[in-house]
Structures are given as C-alpha cells and as structure tokens.
C-alpha cells in the first residue's frame, strides 16, 4: 500500500492520465457501427439483430455501474478497474470464436458491458478526489474524454484489422490488448490520503469552498432532483446514442469505404465536448451549460434530415454534422458526473453516479431499438432524427427547471504538504 508520504505532489495528474488511458481502451463500445457492416456481411444477421449486442452492452454497462460503484467506494479503484479489464477481455475473446448470435449477445452484450462498467466507474472518482471543486468539471471532462476519443484510433485500427484479419481475429487481438492496457493502468489509480485537502493555494486560499452534503444512494433515490436529472440524462445520452450507433451506415451512403473517417471525427468531437463542457460548467454553472447543449443538439437533429437526405456529395456536411452531434453528446458525460459530486458529495460518488448512469443505459437501449425499428419501417434515418430532436427540445425545457442549490460553505485552507 502506498503511504501518503511517498506520493508526489502532482500524483493527481498521474491518476487523471491513468483514468484517461483506461477509458481510451474501454471506448471500443463506440466502434460498434463499424463492426455492424462486417457482422451483416459475414454472419448474415438482419434488422434489430445487428443492434442487439450493442444495445444490451449499453444497458449492462449502465446497470453494472451500480455494483461497480459500490466496489470502487469500498475496495478502491485499482481492484475495480482490474476486474473491468479482465471482463472486457473475456467477452471479446469469447466472441472471437464464433458467429453465434447468442454467444455475441452474452459475450459483447453482458461480459464486455459489465467490464466497461467496472473500468469506467473506477476512473473518475479517484481523480476528482485530488482536485478542488473549482476544477470538478475540467477533471471529469478530461478523464471521460478518453472514452469518447477512443474511436479516433480504434476506427482506423478496426478498419485495418477487419480488412486484413477478419472480424473474429480482430476481436481476439482487441481482447488481449485491452486486458493488458486496462489492468496495467489500473495500478496507477490511487486515492489521496485521508488527511489530504484538495483545495487551491495562492490567491484563492481564504475564499469560500462549497461543501456538498454526503448522501447515500437510498437518500438520493428519494429526492426529486435525482429523477429530474435521470430523465434529462435519458434524453441527452439516448438521443446521441441513437445516432452514434449508426453513423457509419449513414456515412457509407456517400463516403463508401471511408465511412470510418466520420466515426473517428465524431469521436474527436465527442472527446472535446466533454472537456469543453466541463470547463464551461465550472465557469457558468451546470444548468446553463446543459440547457445550451440540449438546445444545440436538438437543432442539429432537425438539420440532419435535409443533410442526410441529400442526393449530392454530402461527405463534408455529414462529417461536420457527426462532429457536432458527438460534441454535444459528449458534453453530457462530463456535466452529469460533475452534478453528482456537486449535489451529493464524494463519499458515495461511485454508487451514486452508478444509479444516475442507469439513465444512460436505458436511454441507449430504448432509443437505439426505436431507431432501428424506425429505420426498418421507413428506410431512412429521417424519423429517427425528428424523434431525437423532439425529445431534446423537451429535455432543454426540463433543464431550465433545475434548481442549483447553494450548499454550506467553509473557508478554504491550503492542503498539507506531501513530500
């Protein structure tokens, strides 16, 4: 066990970068739209079958965050993240042996989903504990940016692997690689010592520090604010996942084999959106940032109808659309964990955010299924975009009703030196 005196003053940034690296590996979820083409071609799956492992993975990922959050809070981030890495590897290696629909649903949908939940839940809490409340949005944004950024390298890597080694061997390679990466970086996830006080020094010392109440899961589930945020997360994340799961198919109509470029660029927007929204929410507040994000995302969904229906060369517009949709979707993934810490504290952050994160999974599962059915019925993505846009307008209006409470404050003092 590392002693407090052996920790470097800047160890918090090592924890942030380790969490970022773990999420870079776990972001394999966002490359599903690339796998779908190979699955349809090689396995002959049709219709909703093509989205089922992905949709179930989203659902298992989100609900496993509750158990994973509890493990993170009680056993620490290193053990929890290591379990996640092994589960993801087991799932990917399992599906690398067969084209069976049932095995892929279990391997990718259940094992990979649970593994992502365990890894993801352990990356943010230790990082936040090293920094003051004024940097909550920034730090959360940087850590979760890895998950959104993953397709920037996974999209071209997957395209290369699929073309040269096939789908099954690609899954085997990813399973082995992710086990090594996640389990290795997990050893760098260390909580600060109990005596550590994460406040800023210098000119900001002596100002007021916002102290949120430390609430348990049973307490937050009885509050209206929890269910208000749950509904908003369902809308913001679900609408984005409707598009992300099929962006490669949309782009393939005009971009052909270069469709992976749209996935990679959207991922870049996804990652940048998490960091920018985190910084912005630190400056102007979580509510205002969320209203802006949901409103812009609604406009983008409505604008997507004429863009994706265009008969002309629309490569640039599709890539641009994907980038901004990814940006606004990613913003949710830094705003909501920041709000969880602001409202309910860090003591039970893992399981509290796990409870809230179920909205992400339910939204991804339900709206991805709806998107697949709408596409099958109409033959176009127009009805999906219109549905998502309408939901986002409702979400923006609901976000205006968020009441940002002002918890009790205390004077900020410099943290004790760590040598």
- CATH of residue 245's domain is 1.20.1250.20
Q: Give 10 or 123, the one with higher predicted confidence.
A: 123
Q: Taking 80 as the threshold, does the pLDDT of residue 256 lie above it?
A: no
Domain that holds residue 141: 10-189+216-402
Q: Taking 60 as the threshold, does the pLDDT of residue 210 lie above it?
A: no
Q: Taking 50 as the threshold, does the pLDDT of residue 418 lie above it?
A: no
Name the nearest CA neighbour of 234 among 399, 350, 345: 399
Q: How confident is the model at residue 41 (pLDDT cuts 50, 70, 90)?
A: confident
Residue 409 gets which letter from DSSP? E
Q: Give 98 or 50, the one with higher predicted confidence.
A: 98
418 lies in a domain? no
* Distance of alpha carbon 231 from alpha carbon 249, whole angstroms: 28
332 lies in a domain? yes
* Distance of alpha carbon 228 from alpha carbon 85, whole angstroms: 33
181 lies in a domain? yes
Predicted confidence (pLDDT) per residue in 328-346, tens digit = 999 999 999 999 999 998 8
197 lies in a domain? no
pLDDT at residue number 249? 62
Name the nearest CA neighbour of 143 among 114, 174, 122: 122
Q: Taking 90 as the threshold, does the pLDDT of residue 78 lie above it?
A: yes
Residue indicated by tokens 């307008």: 393
Average pLDDT over residues 158-166: 88
pLDDT at residue number 377? 75
* Distance of alpha carbon 150 from alpha carbon 72, whole angstroms: 23
* Distance of alpha carbon 92 from alpha carbon 107, whole angstroms: 7
Q: Give 291 or 326, the one with higher predicted confidence.
A: 291
375 lies in a domain? yes
Q: How confident is the model at residue 119 (pLDDT cuts 50, 70, 90)?
A: very high
Average pLDDT over residues 100-108: 94
**DSSP SS3 for 243:** helix
* Distance of alpha carbon 174 from alpha carbon 264, whole angstroms: 18
For the ranges 22-26, 99-103, 200-204, 302-306, the lowest mean pLDDT is seen at 200-204
Predicted confidence (pLDDT) per residue in 133-146, tens digit = 889 999 999 999 98
Average pLDDT over residues 382-410: 81
**Domain tally for the chain?**
1
User: What are the residues whose beta carbons fall under 8 Å from the beta carbon of 100, sequence distance 6 or more?
Assistant: none
**DSSP SS3 for 408:** coil
Q: How confident is the model at residue 199 (pLDDT cuts 50, 70, 90)?
A: low
211 lies in a domain? no
203 lies in a domain? no
pLDDT at residue number 311? 60
407 lies in a domain? no
Is residue 80 within a helix (H) or strand (E), and if so which, with residue range?
Answer: helix 77-95
Q: Taking 70 as the threshold, does the pLDDT of residue 3 lie above it?
A: no
Q: Taking 50 as the threshold, does the pLDDT of residue 1 lie above it?
A: no
Predicted confidence (pLDDT) per residue in 281-300, tens digit = 999 999 999 999 999 999 99
pTM (two decimals): 0.81
Q: Taking 80 as the threshold, does the pLDDT of residue 254 lie above it?
A: no
pLDDT at residue number 209? 52
- Average pLDDT for the chain: 83
Q: How confident is the model at residue 205 (pLDDT cuts 50, 70, 90)?
A: very low
pLDDT at residue number 369? 78
Q: How confident is the model at residue 255 (pLDDT cuts 50, 70, 90)?
A: low
For the ranges 100-109, 160-169, 194-203, 410-419, the lowest mean pLDDT is seen at 410-419
Average pLDDT over residues 179-184: 94
């Amino acid at each position: 066990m590392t002693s407090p005196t052996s920790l470097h003053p800047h160890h918090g940034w090592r924890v942030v970068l380790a969490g970022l690296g773990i999420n870079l590996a776990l972001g394999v979820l966002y490359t599903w739209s690339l796998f779908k083409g190979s699955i349809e071609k090689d396995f002959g799956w049709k219709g909703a079958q093509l989205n089922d492992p992905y949709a179930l993975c989203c659902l298992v990922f989100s609900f496993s965050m509750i158990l994973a959050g509890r493990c993170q809070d009680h056993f620490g981030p290193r053990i929890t993240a290591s379990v996640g890495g092994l589960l993801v590897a087991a799932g990917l290696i399992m599906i690398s042996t067969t084209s069976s629909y049932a095995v892929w649903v279990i391997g990718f949908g259940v094992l990979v989903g649970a593994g992502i939940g365990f890894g993801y839940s352990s990356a943010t809490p230790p990082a936040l504990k090293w920094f003051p409340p004024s940097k909550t949005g920034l730090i959360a944004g940087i850590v979760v940016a890895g998950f959104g950024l993953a397709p920037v390298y996974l999209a071209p890597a997957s395209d290369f692997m699929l073309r040269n080694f096939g789908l099954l061997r690609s899954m085997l390679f990813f399973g082995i690689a992710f086990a090594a990466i996640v389990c290795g970086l997990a050893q760098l996830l260390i909580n600060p010592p109990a005596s550590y006080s994460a406040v800023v020094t210098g000119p900001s010392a002596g100002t007021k520090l916002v102290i949120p109440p430390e609430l348990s899961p049973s307490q937050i589930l009885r509050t209206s604010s929890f269910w208000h945020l749950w509904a908003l997360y369902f809308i913001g994340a679900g609408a984005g996942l409707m598009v992300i799961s099929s962006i490669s198919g949309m782009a393939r109509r005009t971009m052909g084999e270069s469709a992976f470029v749209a996935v990679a660029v959207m991922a870049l927007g996804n990652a940048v959106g998490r960091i920018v929204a985190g910084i912005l929410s630190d400056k102007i507040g979580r509510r205002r940032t969320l209203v802006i994000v949901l409103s812009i995302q609604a406009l983008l969904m409505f604008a997507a109808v004429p863009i994706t229906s265009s008969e002309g060369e629309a490569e640039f517009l599709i890539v641009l659309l994907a980038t901004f949709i990814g940006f606004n979707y990613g913003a949710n993934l830094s705003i909501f964990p920041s709000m969880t810490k602001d409202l309910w504290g860090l003591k039970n952050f893992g399981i509290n955010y796990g409870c809230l994160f179920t909205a992400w999974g339910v939204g991804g599962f339900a709206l991805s299924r709806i998107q697949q059915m709408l596409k099958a019925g109409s033959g176009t993505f127009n009805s999906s975009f219109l549905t998502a846009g309408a939901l986002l307008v409702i979400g923006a209006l609901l976000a205006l009703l968020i009441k940002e409470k002002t918890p009790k404050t205390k004077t900020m003092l410099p943290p004790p030196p760590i040598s």
